[in-house]
Chains A and B, each alone.
Chain A
């Protein structure tokens, strides 16, 4: 193992060393944690990942975000310090470019700081030579300044850079675009909370800066105030209200979007299981560019009755309207659903919802819309597991366009644990779509089958085996399957060895390109040494 690590370190090129060093520094700082913490726990992992893959590398393939090399991780780490502070950390792949870091230090009811960083890439060509790198880095702080007031703040920086093909480009006319932009989000807020009354005032802003095309630079600002409280002496009633102002400004084009939104709601609960709710939202959105404001309005009512442990029914109605100078569109939605336990181990759920949107004045691109959704599920609890089936049917019809989509999906899954032997789980999902449009009609069917078996521990060893098969039949005729083997061996004093092998395969039997064949295959091996920190 040590030999493998030494050999591979020579080939390993560290990039973004800043984050790597910070994460490593944190790991080192954990060394004296034993002295400070009353209790701490987590898993430290050191391993090596190797990938052998060829074919159509892309975001859709399983290795799009995997990198070869030495992987150092600290997972599910928590420490309780004597002074009441806590440290939570999940630092995955510290030493690789697809790192995913999360660190949280807090003292309950006093304050806390969180840090996040994740990075991944996206391939844009068959061989994987052209890619963009994407990173999201941010953090937030909170401080309980007073028993009634909490101050919050956060910032997030999303960066993307690299080379990509133009968003849409004919295969033979592919041109490369350079991408380099930074999108920064930030916010500050103040929360008031006393008894059951809460008020929140917050401001959020963002700044998009494109280093290639400054014409695209823009800023947004959003102010929001919300209050929620029970009605004094009638605590069964709760009310909520809020206001939001949003503005987007494109720097070089003097183009501005604004939206003013107000909302209010009331809820009523009885101990017998009856609840009622009503909400209203009114919104006016406008843009300097098109000289028209749009009003959006929604009313929603709901009523529910629950017979504890036996069943329940829910009814809902929603009215919505969108209205500008030229077009008025209104919609009505109804929903009804329920759940029922004929015996304690069996839960049956079912529901139906329908929406219709009418164009009352003027014309819209799509015209009248009707949408229906029905679903049902049943779950049976076994002594050491469960079995479940679920079915959903969605029908959408645009009457004026004479287009429709019928979509059905069904899924079944099960989990069972055999104490002496291990556990097994499996799922199957079926999707069927029937689309009709101006060009004709076509039907597709997808099948997805997945299963895993895990043995119990024998002589300090555990084994796992799983696989997924997926097939899509439509214009494209796609088959994809993968297998995975995992083995664990517990050494001593919290040390363990983990070995994983995965293989993925993808084929499009109806290739759209005359130039190349869409296929992909990979073999991924990971060897990891684990250490339980306790």
Chain B
């Protein structure tokens, strides 16, 4: 059979064109130059006064590199601190650029001169950290030698509620240091929920056996289709009071989307009504065998043989 697809209508692109035009018009009308980072002042000149800084910096993530000696990008004081030429003439703290005192958006502009991959963070969503005036220097120590705190401590200082989530009984092993926040949260914006290969790809890194694809997909879990919300449709990724990080306990999770079909609570004279949905629909992530995600061995489990229980062999 030939594959088919219906494309996003051209109306969207027309709308997009006009939005871009308005955006550019507004932007070009208000151009102001960024703090210039091209002052031609070498590191040695800065060290004439700031002589203790080099020793500290050379043990940090930003060792000073003088022009022509490094393999990579030269790291100069003026790479980050603008206005050095003026500062030499009149050394005050007011006339030297300090990224740590800029707004988050401006600080980001300084840092992504070298750390470009971070420019892509939040490719299709909003940059939630910059929006809340949390800049690069709030988490990263630029000058000091001190070792950064582990991510689980660093992130927890602001994300208090999330940090306490991990105290719950069912939790990802963050406190045990088997994973860290950045194991899943990639600040270079690589995982985007609306991608065909979206947010669930993060989960499949450690849980490949649930990634499918299956012959019969459970639509809710399938992030490749219109319907699918991926793993987080059912699981709370940080922690949960319920087993297996489930958002709701037992059958209540299933019933959030499904009504209990007639007969399910009255079959076998009601003898088996105590079972959970997934006791029978055990292949809930998807099945190679059964449209209803039933356990392939359900017949033998319930009645001692596959032929003895036709209902449970329904395909």
Contacts and interface: CB of A to CB of B under 8 A. Distances in A.
B127 A277 contact: yes
Given A296-B194, A337-B132, A470-B167, A236 B33 contact: yes
Given A100-B177, A259-B197, A474-B241, A300 B59 contact: no
Interface in A144-163: 144-147, 150, 158
B308 interface: no
A409 interface: yes
B213 A289 contact: yes
Given A279-B123, A324-B6, A438-B259, A304 B130 contact: yes
A236 B105 CA distance: 11
A435 B30 contact: no
B160 A208 contact: no
Contacts of B147: 76, 78
A14 to B, nearest CB: 21
Contact of A181 (B65, B116, B208): B208
B226 A109 contact: no
Contacts of B20: 278
Contact of B194 (A92, A255, A278, A298): A298
Contact of A170 (B109, B205, B209, B279): B279
B164 A411 contact: yes
Chain B contact residues: over half helix, strand or loop, or mixed?
A: loop
A300 B126 contact: yes
Nearest to A339: B133
A294 B119 contact: no
B227 A60 contact: no
Nearest to A312: B133
Contact of A120 (B6, B130, B176, B251): B176
Interface in B1-59: 1-8, 12, 16, 19-20, 23, 26-28, 30-35, 59
Given A271-B34, A364-B226, A281 B4 contact: no
B93 interface: no
B72 interface: yes
A371 B176 CA distance: 33
B284 interface: yes
B27 A259 contact: no
B71 interface: yes
B292 to A, nearest CB: 14
Contact of B256 (A304, A322, A403, A429): A403
Contacts of B102: 308
A169 interface: yes
Given A147-B72, A215-B288, A278-B23, A304 B161 contact: no
Contacts of A413: 160
Contacts of A196: 112-113, 116
Contacts of A200: 117
Given A295-B7, A337-B132, A439-B252, A427 B164 contact: yes
A506 B146 CA distance: 38
Nearest to B119: A228
Contacts of A50: none
B215 interface: yes
A237 B177 CA distance: 40
Contact of B170 (A60, A236, A268, A281): A60
19 contacts: A108-B65, A198-B117, A228-B112, A259-B197, A269-B105, A281-B194, A291-B3, A294-B196, A294-B224, A294-B225, A300-B124, A300-B125, A318-B124, A318-B125, A320-B194, A337-B131, A364-B227, A388-B160, A448-B167
Given A244-B197, A291-B4, 18 more contacts: A109-B75, A228-B120, A234-B28, A234-B31, A263-B124, A273-B105, A290-B225, A295-B7, A298-B194, A304-B131, A314-B126, A325-B6, A398-B257, A403-B256, A427-B164, A439-B251, A446-B241, A475-B249
